[in-house]
Amino acid sequence: MACYIHPKHLPSREDLLALVPTGGSWAEVGVFDGSFSSQILEMARPSRLLLIDLWADAAIFSGDVNGQNVREINGRELEKIVRQRFANYPNVEIRRGTSELLSDQPESSMDAIYVDADHGYRSVRRDLFAAFRVLKDGGWLLGHDYGVNPEKTDARWEFDVQAAVDDFCRDARLSIHAFGMDGCTSFAIQIRKESGIGSRVYRRMRVLRTDAVRGLSHVARRVTRQ
């Protein structure tokens, strides 16, 4: 099946947050400095927000939503920034690690998960499968850097996110519902756990759990600007 059929094209990833009913249980996998986490808190008003990032003791590179203004910060420093930023938010839980930490959460217990961690193919698929298990039927799986929108940026990046997301959708018989059309686009998939589909995804997830844990929170290869 197609990975998307007439998806909505919304102006930005903030607009994707409006697809999710307010007040639910959220997770963000790949947090960087917590800037988008703040947007989730403000717009989605979750009852709980679980923040997961590896925050490796190494240089972490990340740009803005248009793939520009790239910054380099040590992962441990980013973790300190995030912990200070949300120190007074009792509904925010912060954990260092990968999406494998989602295995601690009950199945079908979360309303939305935003994925923006390691952009390697296997890592993205691992994140998607882990998220699928804990998302409710009708929940939302969102993520960043599906592609590049040349109308908003002249930067060029090469990601494995699109291939991983498309393959995940085919495996789970799901479709992309909407795109957030920043310079680096985001996607939104509404989860449907119909009979037979969930077990297929879970089997795939168990295979991927044997893969080695990738090292960095944000990994992408910059291609020369055109």
Model confidence pLDDT, tens digit, residues 52-111 = 999 999 999 887 787 778 899 999 999 999 999 999 999 999 999 999 999 999 999 999
Stated as kind and residue range, the H or E segment containing 8 is strand 8-10
- What letter does residue 124 receive in the DSSP assignment? H
Pairing of strands 221-223, 156-158: antiparallel
Closest CA to 122 of 167, 179, 169: 167
Tokens of 12: 């930005």
pLDDT band at 226 (very low <50, low <70, confident <90, very high): very low
31 touches 51 (CB < 8 A): yes
Mean pLDDT of the chain: 87
> With pLDDT > 70 as the criterion, what percentage of the chain qualifies?
84
How many other β-carbons are positioned within 10 Å of the β-carbon of residue 123? 26
pTM: 0.86
Cα(217)–Cα(20) distance, integer angstroms:
25
Residue 223 confidence (pLDDT): 36
Can you count the helices (H) and strands (E) in the chain?
6, 12
> For the residues 28-56, what does the mean pLDDT come to?
97
Residue 225 confidence (pLDDT): 34
Pairing of strands 184-190, 25-29: unpaired
Residue 3 confidence (pLDDT): 75
- DSSP-H helix ranges across 18-160: 35-44, 75-85, 121-134
First to last CA, the chain: 34
pLDDT band at 201 (very low <50, low <70, confident <90, very high): low
Residue 215 confidence (pLDDT): 37
- DSSP-H helix ranges across the chain: 13-17, 35-44, 75-85, 121-134, 161-172, 197-208
197 touches 129 (CB < 8 A): no
pLDDT band at 198 (very low <50, low <70, confident <90, very high): low
Q: Is the pLDDT reported for residue 113 higher than 90? A: yes
Q: Is the pLDDT reported for residue 204 higher than 70? A: no
Residue 219 confidence (pLDDT): 39
Residue 200 confidence (pLDDT): 58
Q: Is the pLDDT reported for residue 221 higher than 50? A: no
One-letter-per-residue 3-state SS of 97-144: CCHHHHHHCCCCCEEEEEECCCCCHHHHHHHHHHHHHHEEEEEEEEEE
Between residues 40 and 193, the one the model is more confident about: 40
> For the residues 116-135, what does the mean pLDDT come to?
97
SS3 57: coil
Residue 104 confidence (pLDDT): 95
Tokens of 28: 């963000």
The pLDDT tens digits of the residues spanning 158-197 come to 889 999 999 999 999 999 999 999 999 999 999 998 644 5
